[in-house]
Structure 1
Amino acid sequence: MVSKKKFLGIVLGTSCLAVILITVVVVVLVFEEGPDTVKVRTVTGGTLIGKVTTLKDGKTKMNEFHNIRYAQAPVGTLRFRPPVRYEVAGADTEISATNSTPIMCLQSDTGLGTEDCLVLSVRSSNLDESALKPVLMWIHGGGLIAGYGAAPGYSFDSEVTHELDAVTVNINYRLGFLGFSSVKELWNYDAGGAFVDANANNGIRDMIAALDWIQDNIAKFGGDPDRVTIIGESGGGTAVLALICSPLANNKFHAAISQSPAPEMRFSYTEGDTFQRESENSVGFGCNQDTLAERKQCLYDKPAKDLIFDFKNPANVPGTAYFLFPMSYGMKGEYAGQIIVDGTVVTKAPRELGAAGFQPASPLPIIISNCAEEAWQQSWISKPPVRSKGDLAELLTTHLKKINKDFTEEEVSNLTNLYTQNSPIINPYQDPGKVWSYLVSDIRSTCPTNDVVKDMSGTENTNRKFYRLYVSHKPSIEEIPAFHAYDALALFGYSSSNLNSTSAGLNEKDFAFHDHYVAMVKKFAIDQTLEEGWESFPGKSMTYENSVSISSLSSNEPQQYACKVLEGLDLVKYGWQN
């Protein structure tokens, strides 16, 4: 049995992970050499040498290609620029892709990693083009400031790739200020000094470069370029929404799964400039010269590790309050401020997708999901569980004052009792700590996600179809709920750290959920269809719950009763805001 404290460390470390990007390679010949290696001759990337691994069953073989460079290193004059295609002179130049030691993009929370990080990994059981399999591209989370694509237990490995009967790709992308800068010093201007574009969202451009590579080359790895599904969690889920809203990514993927995204994107590039400038100064980037050109050169000259956030002072770090009650760190804590609506890469926020001016050429099904207790990790760590309704009421009153609203005693009482009546999900829980966990999760994630998906579904388009998934299924480990990243860890087989065997407290119920989730993703990736009866939102929503069947369809929105109460108190506007 994993202790609660130890398990929290596992979860928090995992949910702060980031993505690994895919390398651009055009394959023309495939030939094997030796029992443990395989060679793929490419047009632009030389000849890749991968490795052949044997799965746990002792007989199934999987071809793995690691740390494939898909773009030139974004260093020097390429820092803060869109990714540049990587090419190797000579198709016979051999490049090893057998080293699975993870490469990280520079982590904005720790300073670990490197700028030269634009790599991807590919796994495929068959490199033959005669029977193409669906492709799944994983975009890791970490708030777009941390994480990496090859994180154990939080990315596709060969075992899960085999279960999915797909070709899988894990990608890295630039993080933090290096990947999502929007300050005007880095905007593009023409020769006359007129504004051209904001030169923003280069981390999203990295993902698009990976999709370009897939479109060009994945068939030679046995993958079908016409059946590409993107899937991401947390910051990766937010990136999935950004890709849906990007004309540059249009028609480069054919299905999408966004797990626990920040549903709101509210900054224009000019607002992003103001917000990031304040954050930049607070963390000491120190480029304060008189002219725009001098400040730009300063940002290019700075050592990369000087361009990260100062987590010693969390109140200065954007988005710090994500898992806390609104306004815990003031307005700065409410926004991550990474992805911005820049007019080129991301042209409209998700709520405004109908006005984006572009359509996918073929049907594009999209699943958007969240877990029931997204805020559980931080709410438990930052505050001891409240022991009584009186404690809960006092805690609520303290926090509500921070949002400048004069709540009445009756309104506080209604919130205190919100989940002990009329709630089909957690009734008849009386634990005030459980009420707090659901309350923060619904304000931050469930209710605003409902609203955003409804807005996206209501757009006038013929091909985008949005499906709502709510995960209330919880692991068997005592006291552990459906926390942020739980669904992703379940998909990847509970192989993260101590979650890799029944000795961790997991049992057949947990592995049944893993099997169910894999089956859903597999079916979705193969032919873009879902479980019977699951309609586009708001027609029907799906809940994965603690029942024998796991699946439960409803014409109600997730947490519909609670969301109506919270909306009436003007609290839903505090949903996670990128």
Structure 2
Amino acid sequence: MIRTLLSLPVIFALVACPEPEAPTQSPEPDAEIPIDPLLITTKQGLVLGQEDGDLRVFKGIPYAAAPVGELRFKRPERHPGWQETRDASQFMPPCPQGDRFGVPMDWDEDCLGLNIWAHNDDATRPVMVWIHGGSFTQGSTDLGLYNLEHLARGSNVVAVSFNYRLGALGFLAAESLAAEDPDQVSGNYGIRDQIAALEWVQDNIAAFGGNPDQVTVFGESAGGMSVCTLLAAPAAENLFHRGIIQSGGGCWAYPQLRDESPAVSGIEHWQTIIDALGCDDSEAVSACLRSKPTSAFVNAVGNQENFDVRPVVDGHLVIGQAYDLMARRQVADKALLVGANAHESTFWQAGVEITPDRFRTTLETYFPMQAERLMTMYPATDNIGAWWAHAQFWSDFYFICPMFAFAQATSGGQEPTYAYFFNHTVSQGPLSYMGASHSYELFYLFSVHDQLGEYSFTPSPAGERISRDMQAAWGAFAAGEAPAPPSQWPAYEATTESIGTFASLATSLKKNVDASRCQELRSMGLSR
């Protein structure tokens, strides 16, 4: 059922590595620490960053070898390094993907780079590593939306972001590729990239003023789902210490790499793309896939209507659903901050007319046994009401209820789980009618309201306060404390359901305002 529902065009269009091989050519930078604070020695060589006020910014540092040629559809390998000082003033190109908002992108398979916003002093700070969203098919760190400059300052952290392989190049699974792998698995290359980036952080971040023993991984949408995946990946266990999952669902909807039912098998799922590429000869699939131009993979996924790209549970890198593993305490217990936005699904409804009849038809199609109860829960008497009812139901179904079910499942362990709820509306411009939509919390967490092109806006005083509060809360959490403000934010527990709520009137603690709807969905078997 989940796979079918995820294909709805209006609804959902999201947001154990072995030891890497030794470098073939080890750089030998000067053993002395460079005097220039913008010149940093990494294990691959020297990098030269740029000064931005009280920050030092380093962009486009390779954390792995380019996954091209024979390294396509392989585990990431350690970058061989460089002899000359590397200019770190430009982002690496995005990983291959479709057009961005209708505009072709200058992407490249040689895309595995990371970026660092470090402070211009000698203090050691917690590290926050950002994983971007985009349905595992889109996104890159050069987007203005993901500028971590203000977060580094406001949260008092060293901030890191990175690209990872997307789409077919990042997640295609095939038996012929599995036959080449030491663990006989395939897919999840993008997740292996994420782990390689975290390994690089462990090896090098101290040189940038970051504490490798205080690393928080955080992401939104597919980035939040990535944090879920890393929680279920033993190879990542010692690479980060806390996690923040923003609009990442309930950490349970990953298919199996191999399954008795083809409908839920990752390998069977990708056969459609392999056939579209003309690589259906099982004897030579791997060679055929590596011979194809990069654009063929982008087009093959883009030409399939609502083709779902995501990690798979392969039993080696990803050993299960994070929800189940965390609830049963079968993987390392880590402090978590999880949450969702009030109106997530309006993101996919912009410009779409939804009538009461259309809403009813959707519910009757996908939930015939529960449709009448759902229409009572989410009443729709006119088109405006239907638009919002449609958005609220899918927000609850995909994001709000799953996330707070996950908060409840992970509560009560040795490490705390905190929950938040974002319910602030942009006060002006074309985004103002969307409510607290999917990804909108990033405008405030990253203070990037002026970097959104035609959608840029000037925040209200309440919006400015929310930016400060979110940065303070995320920073406190990364520092090993409870998120604050509000002060004395307690861990989430089933008995109290305390949630830090970022809303226009105030940042405050509230009981889970959506608990009754989520309980009703749970009684119908539509949520955990």
Matched, 1:185 2:176: yes
257, 263, 287: which is aligned to 1:269? 257
Distance, in Å, in 2 between the alignment partners of 1:123 and 1:359 is: 31
The match for 1:511 is: 464
Q: Percent identity?
A: 27
Show CA shifts across 1:271-308 (max 9, x none): 10011213543xx222112xx33111101111111112
1:39 maps to which residue?
39
Aligned counterpart in structure 2 of residue 115 of structure 1, from 109, 116, 121: 109
Match in the other structure for 1:544? 501
2:111 is paired with a residue whose SS is coil
Q: What is the DSSP-based 3-state SS (H/G/I as helix, E as strand, rest coil) of the residue aligned with 1:527?
A: coil
| Distance change in 2, residues 1:297/1:137 (3 Å) | same
Q: Please report how far the alpha carbon of residue 403 of structure 1 lies from its aligned counterpart in structure 2 after TM superposition.
A: 1.9
Q: How many Å separate the matches in 1 of 2:126 and 2:183?
A: 38
Q: Does 1:82 align with 2:78?
A: no
The CA distance in 2 between the partners of 1:312 and 1:117, in whole Å, is 20
**CA contact under 8 A between 1:541 and 1:558: conserved in structure 2?**
no
Q: Distance in 2 between matches of 1:543 and 1:357?
A: 25
Deviations 1:355-380 (A, max 9, x none): 888644xx621111111111002223
Q: Does the alignment pair 1:317 with 2:306?
A: yes
Assess, with a 3 A threshold, how the Cα gap between structure 1 residues 337 and 547 changes in structure 2: closer, same or farther. Answer: closer
Specify every segment of 5 or more residues in structure 2 that has no aligned partner in the other structure, as ranges: 1-9, 16-22, 259-264
**Structure 1: distance between partners of 2:426 and 2:170:** 35
Structure 1 residue 189, shift from structure 2 partner: 5.2
Shift of 1:483: 0.3
How many matched pairs?
486
Shift of 1:162: 1.8
Aligned to 1:521: 474
Judging changes above 3 Å, is the alpha-carbon distance between structure 1 residues 162 and 404 closer, same or farther for their aligned structure 2 residues?
A: closer
- SS of match in other structure, 1:297: helix
Name the TM-score, length of structure 2 as normaliser. 0.84
Distance 1:49-1:445 versus aligned 2 partners, 3 A rule? same
Aligned to 2:441: 487
CA distance in 2, matches of 1:453, 1:207: 24
Task: Name which of 470, 473, 476 aligns with 2:424.
Answer: 473
Q: Could you state the TM-score of these two structures normalised by the residue count of structure 1? A: 0.77
Contact 2:466–2:503 (CA under 8 A) maintained in structure 1: no
How far apart in 1 are the matches of 2:51 and 2:180? Answer: 49
**Aligned in 2, Cα 1:163/1:244: closer, same or farther, shift over 3 Å?**
same
Range 484-493 or range 109-118, more displaced: 109-118
For 1:373, the equivalent position in structure 2 comes to: 343
Q: Which amino acid aligns with 1:185?
A: S
What one-letter code is carried by the residue in structure 1 that aligns with 2:245? S
- 1:106-164 CA distance string (max 9 Å, x none): 11566741110010111211363xx311111111110111100231132312x331222
Alignment of structure 1 residues 40-119 onto 2, 5 Å: 40-42=40-42, 44-54=43-53, 61-88=54-81, 90=83, 93-98=84-89, 100-108=90-98, 112=105, 113-119=107-113
How far apart in 1 are the matches of 2:28 and 2:405? 42
Partner Cα distance (2:394, 2:239) in 1: 36
Selected match of 2:377 from 415, 419, 428: 415
Q: Quote the residue 1:401 is aligned against.
A: 364
Residue number in structure 1 paired with 2:7: none
Report the residue type matching 1:470 in the other structure.
F
Offset of residue 344 of structure 1: 1.5
Residues of 2 paired with 1:87 and 1:279: CA distance? 32
- Indicate if the aligned counterparts of 2:48 and 2:88 stay in contact, CA closer than 8 A: yes
Give the letter aligned to residue 572 of structure 1: S
| Structure 1 Cα separation of the partners of residues 175 and 213 of structure 2 | 38
- 1:307-362 deviations in whole A, cap 9, x for unaligned? 12557756x232xxxxxxxxxxxxxxxxx3421101121111122214888644xx
Q: By how many angstroms is 1:38 displaced?
A: 2.2
Q: Sort the Cα spacing of 1:549 and 1:26 in 2 relative to 1 into closer, same or farther, 3 A.
A: farther
CA contact (8 A) 1:197 1:344 kept: no
* Structure 1 gaps, min length 5: 1-11, 18-23, 55-60, 319-335, 387-391, 420-429, 574-578
Q: Is the 8 A contact 1:144 1:235 kept in 2?
A: yes
1:469 and 1:542 in contact (8 A); partners too: yes
Task: Give me the whole-angstrom Cα distance separating, in 2, the residues matched to 1:357 and 1:407.
Answer: 33
The within-5 A match list for 1:128-527 is 128=122, 131-157=123-149, 159-188=150-179, 196-263=183-250, 264-270=252-258, 271-281=265-275, 284-289=276-281, 292-309=282-299, 316-318=305-307, 336-354=308-326, 359-360=331-332, 364-381=334-351, 383-384=352-353, 386=355, 392=356, 394-403=357-366, 405-406=368-369, 410-411=372-373, 413-417=375-379, 431-457=385-411, 462-477=413-428, 478-493=432-447, 494-498=449-453, 504-527=457-480
Going from structure 1 to structure 2, the CA distance change for 1:545 and 1:96 (only over 3 Å counts) comes to closer
Which residue of structure 2 lines up, in the alignment, with residue 8 of structure 1? none
Decide whether aligned partners of structure 1 residues 413 and 164 sit closer, same or farther in structure 2, where only a CA change above 3 A counts. closer
Distance change in 2, residues 1:134/1:500 (3 Å): farther
Change (3 A) 1:356 1:218: farther
1:509 CA drift (Å) = 0.9
The answer (yes or no) to whether the contact 1:276–1:337 under 8 Å persists in 2 is no
Residues 1:80 and 1:463: Cα distance change in structure 2 (over 3 Å) = farther
- Distance in 2 (CA, whole Å) between partners of 1:366 and 1:178 is 30
Decide whether the 8 Å contact of 2:135 with 2:309 is kept in 1: no
In 2 relative to 1, CA 293–127 (structure 1 residues): closer, same or farther, beyond 3 Å? farther
Aligned residues of 2:347 and 2:434 also touching (Cα < 8 A): no
2:173 and 2:187 in contact (8 A); partners too: yes
- Aligned CA-pair RMSD: 3.0
Secondary structure (helix, strand or coil) at the match of 1:230 reads: strand
Q: CA deviation at 1:78?
A: 0.6
In the alignment, which residue of structure 1 is the partner of 2:5? none
Q: Which residue of 2 aligns with 1:424?
A: none
